[in-house]
C-alpha cells in the first residue's frame, strides 16, 4: 500500500519531504490526519440528521425528507445553507461574549475527543497512554457550553434548561466513569488501542458479555449525556420551549446541533470501542473464510467500527421515535440511585473474579 | 528545546493572565470561567512535564466536576459584587500575608530543587517508554497505600456528612413515594364504567 503510494509521488517531492525536519514532518502528517477525521465526522453528522428524519419518518408511517436531490439526500446541505445565511440574533440583555462562545465550547470537546479514538488497526491521531481519561475529561467539559448558553441568554427558559442539563450530566458522568473503571480493569490499560486489542478473538471475547451490566449502564448514561430522547428534558419543547438554545439562531444554533450529533457519534464509537471490540471483526477466528472472497469479513478494519457506530446511531433514532420523555425526578433517581450502585457492585464482582482467576481477567496481574 | 520553551512561556503567560482575571473580573461567572482557563493552562504545563495522568485528572476533576458545581452556585446565588468589594480593604492585609507565605515557600522549593540537582533543560526528560500513570500507580498503591486510603476514607466521610446535613426533617416537605408510583396499576387510576346508551331525547 505504502510502496504503491510512493511510486505515485514524483521523486523531487519525496526528496523535499525527506529533507524536512522530523518535527515538521510529524506536524504535517498529524494535521492531515486531523483534517481527514474531522471532515469524516462532520460528514457523518450531516447525513445522520438525514437518516434520523428518514428513520423516524418510516417508524411513524411518513416518508421523511424526499425533495432535495435523489431520495432527499441533499437535505443536510440545504439545511446547512439555510442556517448559515440566517441572521444570528443576539438578545439585547444577554452576556454577549459568553453567548457567542458557548456554542464553540460545546462543539470543541465533542470533536477533540476523536484524537484518541482507534479507528483502524494502527490508525489513531494521538496514541496516548491515558486515552480513556482524556475521553472522560473531554466529555465532562462539554457541559460548559450548555450551562453558559443558558446563563448568558438571560432568559428563564434557557436557564431552566441549562440547570436541568447540568444536573443531569453531572449525575450520569459518575455512572459512566464507574462503568469505564470496569473496562479498564478488564482491558488492563488506559490506552484505547490496547483496550480494543484486549478484546481480540471474536464476539465471545468482547467485553459486553463479562461486563454486561456496565455495558447497559454506559450506553444508557451515554444517551443521557447527549441529552437525547428519552432524556431530553434540557430541551423539553413542551415545557421550556427549546431549553438552553431557545434564543440561538443561524450558525450559532447550527453549532449546538452539530455538537449534539457529534456527541452522539462519539458515544456510539466509545461504546463500540469499550464493549464491542472497536475495529475487531465479529468473525475473527473463522479460518474457513480465509480461502473465500469473504476473507475481508474476518479481518479487523474500520468498516466494523463504522458498522457498530451505525447500529448505535440507529438506536438513538429508534429511542426517539418510541420512548416518551422521562420525568425529571425519575432521571435523577435512575442516575444516582440505580446506575451508580449497579456499577459499584459489578466492579466488586469483577474484582473478586479477577482475584479468583475466573473469566477473561485470569491472565491479568500474573 | 526552543519549541518547548516557546510553548512553556505561552502557557505560563496565559496561566498568570487567567489567574489575574479570576481576581479582577467583576462578574462572578467570568471569574469562574477564568479559573477554568487557569486549570487548563496548568494541565498543559503538566503535560509538558510528561505528567499526563495528573494533567488529565486535573481537567477531569476540577474542570469537569468541581467547577461545574461552582458555576451552579455562582449562577443561582445572585452575588452582590458591590458588597463583596467593600470587604476588599479589610481583608487585603490577610490576603497579602497569605500570598507572601506562599511565595516564600515556592522560592524555597525552587531553591532547594536547583541546588540539590542540576536541571538539564526546562523539563527533565524521562526515558523512552516512561508511563506516568503506571509510575504513579506503582508508588500510590505500595509505598503510600495507607495515606492514600486514609485520604479516600476522609473524602467519603465528608460526602456522608454533607448529605446528612441536607437530610434533616423539614416541615412541609413533599416527597414522591417511588415504590407506590412503581406499584400502581391502570385499574387503580382509571375506572371504566359500562353503561347503556341513553335514549335520544
Task: Say what the ipTM of the complex is.
Answer: 0.79
Three-class SS of residue A123?
strand
Are the beta carbons of A147 and B69 separated by less than 8 Å? no
Given pLDDT bands bounded at 50, 70 and 90, which one contains residue B151? very high
Return d(Cα A319, Cα A133) in angstroms, integer.
28
Q: With pLDDT > 90 as the criterion, what percentage of chain A qualifies?
A: 6
- The alpha carbons of chain B give a radius of gyration, in whole angstroms, of 28
Contact status, residue B43 vs residue B55, Cβ threshold 8 Å: yes
Q: What is the pLDDT of residue B117?
A: 58
Return d(Cα A227, Cα A326) in angstroms, integer.
11
Residues linked to residue A123 through DSSP beta bridges, in sequence order: A120
Given pLDDT bands bounded at 50, 70 and 90, which one contains residue A365? very low
Q: Residues of chain A whose C-beta is under 8 A from some C-beta in B? A: 23, 95, 98, 128-130, 133-134, 136-137, 140-141, 143-144, 147-148, 151, 159, 163, 166, 169-170, 173, 190, 329, 333
Q: Which residues contact A191 (CB under 8 A, 6 or more apart)?
A: A127, A128, A129, A130, A131, A132
Average of per-residue pLDDT across A102-106? 88
Return d(Cα B29, Cα A98) in angstroms, integer.
10
Q: What is the pLDDT of residue A197?
A: 82
- Cell triple for residue A343? 456499577
Given pLDDT bands bounded at 50, 70 and 90, which one contains residue B123? low
Query: What global pTM score does this model have?
Result: 0.83
The chain A residue lying nearest B64, using CA atoms, is A140
Of A189 and B162, the one with more pLDDT: B162
Average of per-residue pLDDT across B16-43? 88
Given pLDDT bands bounded at 50, 70 and 90, which one contains residue A366? very low
Chain B, 72-91: which have a CB under 8 Å from a chain A CB?
A: 72, 75
Considering only the beta carbons, identify the residue of A23, A141, A166 that sits closest to B3.
A23
Average of per-residue pLDDT across A53-79? 86
Q: What is the pLDDT of residue B128?
A: 66
Considering only the beta carbons, identify the residue of A95, A141, A329 that sits closest to B64.
A141
Are the beta carbons of B65 and A170 separated by less than 8 Å? yes
Are the beta carbons of B64 and A329 separated by less than 8 Å? no
pLDDT 10s digits, A84-93: 888 888 888 8
Are the beta carbons of B65 and A329 separated by less than 8 Å? no
Phi, psi of A244 (to 5 degrees): -65, -25
Three-class SS of residue A319?
helix
How many degrees, rounded to 5, is the angle at CA A145 between CA A139 and CA A146?
95
Are the beta carbons of B60 and A136 separated by less than 8 Å? yes
Return d(Cα A276, Cα A298) in angstroms, integer.
15
Provide the shortest C-alpha distance from residue A141 to chain B (in Å).
Answer: 5
Length in residues, chain B: 201
Look at residues A273, A172, A155 and name the one whose alpha carbon lies nearest to residue A223.
A172
pLDDT 10s digits, B63-115: 888 888 888 888 877 666 666 666 667 778 888 899 899 999 988 888 877 76
Q: What is the pLDDT of residue A162?
A: 84
Q: What is the pLDDT of residue A6?
A: 66
Show residues of chain B in contact with A128, CB under 8 Å.
52
Q: What is the pLDDT of residue A193?
A: 84
Are the beta carbons of B60 and A133 separated by less than 8 Å? yes
- In chain B, DSSP assigns E strands to none
Inform me whether the pLDDT recorded for B6 exceeds 70: yes
pLDDT 10s digits, A142-181: 888 888 888 888 888 888 888 888 888 888 888 888 888 8
Provide the shortest C-alpha distance from residue B193 to chain A (in Å).
Answer: 28
Count of H-run helices and E-run strands, chain A: 16, 0
Average pLDDT of chain B to the nearest whole number: 82
- Cell triple for residue A235? 430541551
pLDDT 10s digits, A305-358: 888 899 999 998 999 888 888 888 888 888 888 899 999 998 888 888 888 877
Show residues of chain A in contact with B29, CB under 8 Å.
95, 98, 148, 151
Given pLDDT bands bounded at 50, 70 and 90, which one contains residue B118? low
Return d(Cα A261, Cα A49) in angstroms, integer.
8
pLDDT 10s digits, A27-40: 888 888 888 888 88
- Cell triple for residue B77? 446565588
Look at residues B189, B183, B59, B41 and name the one whose alpha carbon lies nearest to residue A141.
B59
Average pLDDT of chain A to the nearest whole number: 83
Inform me whether the pLDDT recorded for B116 exceeds 80: no
Look at residues A52, A141, A238 and name the one whose alpha carbon lies nearest to residue B67.
A141
Inform me whether the pLDDT recorded for B35 exceeds 70: yes
Q: What is the pLDDT of residue B155?
A: 92
Which residue in B29, B40, B56 has the most chain A C-beta atoms within 10 A of its own C-beta, making it the best mutation to test that interface? B56
Q: What is the pLDDT of residue B87?
A: 67
Inform me whether the pLDDT recorded for B124 exceeds 70: no
Show residues of chain B in contact with A134, CB under 8 Å.
56
Q: What is the pLDDT of residue B82?
A: 61
Amino acid at each position: 500500500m505504502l510502496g504503491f503510494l510512493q511510486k505515485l509521488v514524483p521523486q523531487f517531492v519525496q526528496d523535499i519531504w525527506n529533507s524536512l525536519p522530523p518535527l515538521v514532518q510529524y506536524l504535517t502528517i498529524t494535521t492531515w490526519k486531523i483534517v481527514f477525521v474531522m471532515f469524516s465526522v462532520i460528514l457523518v453528522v450531516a447525513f445522520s440528521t438525514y437518516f434520523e428524519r428518514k428513520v423516524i419518518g418510516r417508524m411513524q408511517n411518513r416518508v421523511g425528507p424526499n425533495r432535495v436531490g435523489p431520495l432527499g439526500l441533499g437535505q443536510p446541505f440545504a439545511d446547512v445553507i439555510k442556517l448559515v445565511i440566517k441572521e444570528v440574533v443576539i438578545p439585547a440583555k444577554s452576556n454577549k461574549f459568553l453567548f457567542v462562545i458557548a456554542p464553540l465550547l460545546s462543539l470543541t470537546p465533542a470533536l477533540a475527543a476523536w484524537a484518541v479514538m482507534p479507528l483502524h488497526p494502527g490508525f489513531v491521531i494521538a496514541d496516548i497512554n491515558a486515552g480513556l481519561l482524556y475521553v472522560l475529561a473531554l466529555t465532562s467539559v462539554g457541559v460548559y457550553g450548555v450551562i453558559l448558553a443558558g446563563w448568558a441568554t438571560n432568559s428563564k427558559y434557557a436557564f431552566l434548561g441549562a440547570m436541568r442539563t447540568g444536573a443531569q450530566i453531572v449525575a450520569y458522568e459518575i455512572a459512566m466513569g464507574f462503568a469505564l473503571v470496569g473496562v479498564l480493569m478488564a482491558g488492563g490499560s488506559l490506552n484505547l488501542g490496547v483496550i480494543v486489542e484486549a478484546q481480540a478473538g471474536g464476539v465471545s471475547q468482547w467485553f459486553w458479555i463479562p461486563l454486561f451490566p456496565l455495558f447497559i449502564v454506559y450506553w444508557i448514561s451515554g444517551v443521557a449525556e447527549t441529552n437525547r430522547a428519552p432524556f431530553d428534558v434540557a430541551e423539553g419543547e413542551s415545557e421550556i420551549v427549546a431549553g438552553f438554545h431557545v434564543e440561538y439562531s443561524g450558525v450559532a444554533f447550527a453549532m449546538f446541533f452539530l455538537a449534539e450529533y457529534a456527541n452522539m457519534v462519539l458515544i456510539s464509537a466509545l461504546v463500540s470501542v469499550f464493549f464491542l471490540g472497536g475495529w475487531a471483526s465479529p468473525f475473527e477466528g473463522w479460518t474457513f473464510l480465509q480461502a473465500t472472497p469473504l476473507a475481508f469479513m474476518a479481518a479487523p478494519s474500520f468498516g466494523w467500527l463504522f458498522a457498530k457506530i451505525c447500529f448505535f446511531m440507529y438506536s438513538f433514532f429508534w429511542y426517539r421515535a418510541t420512548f416518551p420523555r422521562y420525568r425529571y425526578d425519575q432521571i435523577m433517581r435512575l442516575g444516582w440511585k440505580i446506575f451508580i450502585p449497579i456499577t459499584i457492585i459489578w466492579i466488586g464482582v469483577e474484582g473478586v473474579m479477577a482475584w479468583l482467576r475466573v473469566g477473561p481477567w485470569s491472565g491479568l496481574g500474573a | 528545546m526552543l519549541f518547548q520553551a516557546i510553548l512553556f512561556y505561552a502557557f505560563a503567560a496565559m496561566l498568570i493572565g487567567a489567574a489575574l482575571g479570576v481576581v479582577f473580573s467583576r462578574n462572578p461567572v467570568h471569574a469562574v470561567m477564568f479559573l477554568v482557563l487557569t486549570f487548563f493552562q496548568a494541565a498543559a504545563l503538566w503535560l509538558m512535564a510528561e505528567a499526563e495522568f495528573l494533567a488529565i485528572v486535573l481537567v477531569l476533576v476540577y474542570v469537569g466536576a468541581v467547577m461545574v458545581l461552582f458555576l451552579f452556585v455562582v449562577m443561582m446565588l445572585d452575588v452582590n459584587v458591590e458588597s463583596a468589594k467593600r470587604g476588599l480593604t479589610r481583608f487585603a492585609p490577610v490576603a497579602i500575608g497569605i500570598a507572601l507565605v506562599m511565595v516564600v515557600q515556592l522560592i524555597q522549593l525552587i531553591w532547594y530543587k536547583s541546588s540539590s540537582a542540576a536541571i538539564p533543560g526546562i523539563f527533565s526528560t524521562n526515558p523512552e517508554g516512561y508511563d506516568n500513570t503506571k509510575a504513579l500507580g506503582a508508588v500510590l498503591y505500595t509505598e503510600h497505600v495507607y495515606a492514600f486510603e486514609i485520604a479516600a476514607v476522609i473524602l467519603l466521610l465528608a460526602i456522608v456528612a454533607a448529605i446528612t446535613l441536607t437530610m434533616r426533617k423539614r416541615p412541609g416537605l413533599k416527597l414522591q413515594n417511588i415504590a407506590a408510583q412503581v406499584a400502581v396499576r391502570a385499574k387503580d387510576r382509571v375506572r371504566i364504567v359500562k353503561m347503556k346508551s341513553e335514549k335520544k331525547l
